[in-house]
Structure formats: C-alpha cells, structure tokens
C-alpha cells in the first residue's frame, strides 16, 4: 500500500470522473476512447504521447526555481551511447546531408561563472526533413548525434546543420488526436542537448531558432524565451553561428525517494 500511489492514481481518476460528468460522455465516446488508448499502445506511441503532452508540466514542476540555464523536455528520441567527437566536432552527417551548415559554440560554467572543463555535451537533432536517426529507417543509424567535451576553459564548438521543424507522425493515433482536436502537430526546429559535469546538476535542454516556425505553437509546449538562439554570420563565416553558455546548478542535497511510489 502506498499513500503516494493513492494520491496520484486516485487524483487522476477523480479528474477523469469529473470530466465525464462535465462533458456528459456517451457510451459511444467511451468506446472510442478505449480503442484509441489501445491503438496508442499498439503503435508504440506512448513515449511520444507522454513526452509531447505531459513531460513539459513535469519538467516545469521538477525544476521550478533551479539556478542556472533553463532546461526543457527530453522527448522520446534520445539514444544512449553516441560517440565522443574529436576536432572539428561535427555531428555525424551523410555525405549529401541537406540543410544549412551552422556552428554552435559557447561555454559550460557553474552558477558563479567558473568554467567547467571536461563537461560533456550530448547533442542530437532531426535532419533537414525533421527526421531522427534511430527512429526513422530513411536515415542511417548515428546521424546527427554525438558528444563533445568542453576544453580547459569550458569552451565547446559543435558543427552541424539547421534542423527542420518536426511533426508528430500524422497517420498514428497521436496525430489523429491532434487532427480531431484541431491542434497543430508541429514542434519548432530544435537541437537537443544534455550537459553534464561532475558535482553539478545534469541539464536537459533544447535550443530553438529565432524567426523559425512554430515557436509560438509548439505542440509539446516546451519553448522558453531563454532557449531561442539567433544564428548570425560571424567568426565562422560563411557559416552562421551562435554562442550559448550553459550554466549548471550545483548538485543539491538528495531529495526524499519517491521513485518507488508506483511499485
Ligand atoms: C521531438 O523531437 C521532441 O523533441 C519531443 C519532445 C517530442 C516529440 C518529438
Ligand atoms: Fe526533438
């Protein structure tokens, strides 16, 4: 018996029961809901659905008030084990990789601005068609995924391409929900990064691009103003580049263990 499980599962069910009464739900609608939930599972879309429609609220709650750079959702497309890149720190790309070449540069520092040499940046992104390697058979494995280690001054450089906006697969149950509800299925173009350094809080975040589409209607609600960058022609001309400093929070005292609440 867990009072935490009682609170969470009981509270969620109470909300559902209230919505049923408020919307005067019919048996026909209940049947459609059941089938849709089954379809999400059969299509393997629970990770997608939960990360798109639930994770943002979890992230905002979990990290409210945390010092340092803003984080945002992890999403369903991270893969463990991306290779550590060496100079010139180019995310693996196909010979004919489409998309504008860009350079991301910056530093990893602690809350007082001290550089964190050896910090690891694990980056992944969609290609110029909005597809992720490892999840779409049209891309070879490992494309546009890699780790970069910050140098002695906490600096890093990552050469990559500008990703395209991402759309939830429109034929699957999650896409059908968007269509039925009249919601946009799009996410703005973004690069994912997990920044880690000894003795500091892991930062899971994404960077978005100034003037890109869907910054104001991200289906996953994961855009934050602080995470929008503006690539410009500068030190890496003719390629556009942008600089972003990641500030990591000092590791906090261990929190009460609620991980086993559902077990
Ligand atoms: C993505 O690319 C993504 O980052 C998230 C959070 C959800 C769906 C697709
Ligand atoms: Fe993504």
Atom of ligand 1 nearest to the CA of 52: 7
Q: How far is CA 244 from the centre of its chain?
A: 17
Mutate to test the pocket of ligand 1, among 57, 219, 220, 224 (most ligand atoms within 8 A of CB): 220
Find the 19 Cα to ligand 2 centroid distance in Å. Answer: 31
CA of 94 to the centre of ligand 1 (A): 22
75 lines ligand 1 (CB under 6 A): yes
The reply to whether ligand 1 has any atom less than 6 angstroms from the CB of 220 is yes
Ligand 1, atom 9, residue with closest C-alpha: 75
Q: Tell me which residue of 205, 211, 214 sits closest to 231, measured CA to CA.
A: 211
Separation of CA 215 and ligand 2 centre (Å): 13
CA of 214 to the centre of ligand 1 (A): 13
Is pTM beyond 0.85? Reply is yes
Q: What is d(CA 83, CA 192) in angstroms, rounded to the nearest whole number?
A: 15
DSSP string for 217-249: --TT----GGGEE--EESTTTTSEEEE-PEEEP
pLDDT tops 60 at residue 256:
no
Q: What is the pLDDT of residue 36?
A: 98
Residue 73 in contact with ligand 1 by CB distance below 6 A: yes
pLDDT one-digit tens code per residue, 75-127: 999 999 999 999 999 999 999 999 999 999 999 999 999 999 999 999 999 99
Domains of the chain: 43-248 (2.60.130.10)
* pLDDT exceeds 60 at position 227: yes
Nearest-CA residue for atom 4 of ligand 1: 75
**What value does the mean pLDDT take over residues 204-209?**
98
Tell me, in angstroms, the distance from the centre of ligand 1 to residue 77's CA.
7
Which DSSP helix (H) or strand (E) runs through 62? helix 55-62
What pLDDT sits at residue 82? 98
Q: Residue 52: CB within 6 Å of ligand 1?
A: yes
Q: What is the CA radius of gyration of the chain?
A: 20
């Amino acid at each position: 018996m867990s009072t935490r499980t009682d609170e969470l599962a009981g509270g969620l069910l109470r909300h559902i029961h209230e919505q049923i009464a408020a919307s005067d739900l019919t048996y026909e609608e209940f049947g459609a809901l059941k089938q849709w939930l089954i379809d999400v599972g059969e299509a393997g879309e629970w990770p997608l659905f939960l990360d798109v429609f639930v994770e943002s609220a979890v992230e905002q709650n979990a990290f409210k008030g945390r010092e340092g750079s803003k984080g945002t959702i992890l999403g369903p497309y991270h893969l463990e084990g991306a290779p550590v890149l060496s100079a010139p720190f180019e995310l693996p790309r196909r010979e004919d990789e489409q998309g504008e070449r860009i350079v991301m540069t910056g530093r990893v520092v602690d809350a007082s601005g001290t550089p964190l040499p050896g910090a690891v940046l694990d980056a992944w992104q969609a290609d110029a068609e909005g597809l992720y390697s490892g999840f779409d058979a049209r891309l070879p494995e490992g494309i546009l995924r890699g780790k970069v280690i910050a140098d002695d001054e906490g600096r890093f450089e990552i050469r990559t391409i500008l990703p395209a906006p991402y759309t939830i697969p429109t034929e699957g149950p999650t896409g059908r929900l968007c269509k039925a509800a009249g919601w946009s299925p799009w996410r703005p173009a973004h690069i994912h990064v997990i920044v880690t350094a000894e003795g500091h809080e892991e930062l899971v975040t994404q960077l978005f691009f100034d003037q890109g589409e869907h910054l104001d209607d991200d289906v996953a609600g994961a855009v934050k103003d602080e995470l929008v960058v503006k690539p410009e022609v500068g030190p890496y001309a003719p390629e556009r580049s942008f600089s972003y400093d990641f500030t990591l929070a000092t590791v906090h005292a261990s929190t009460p263990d609620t991980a086993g609440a559902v077990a």
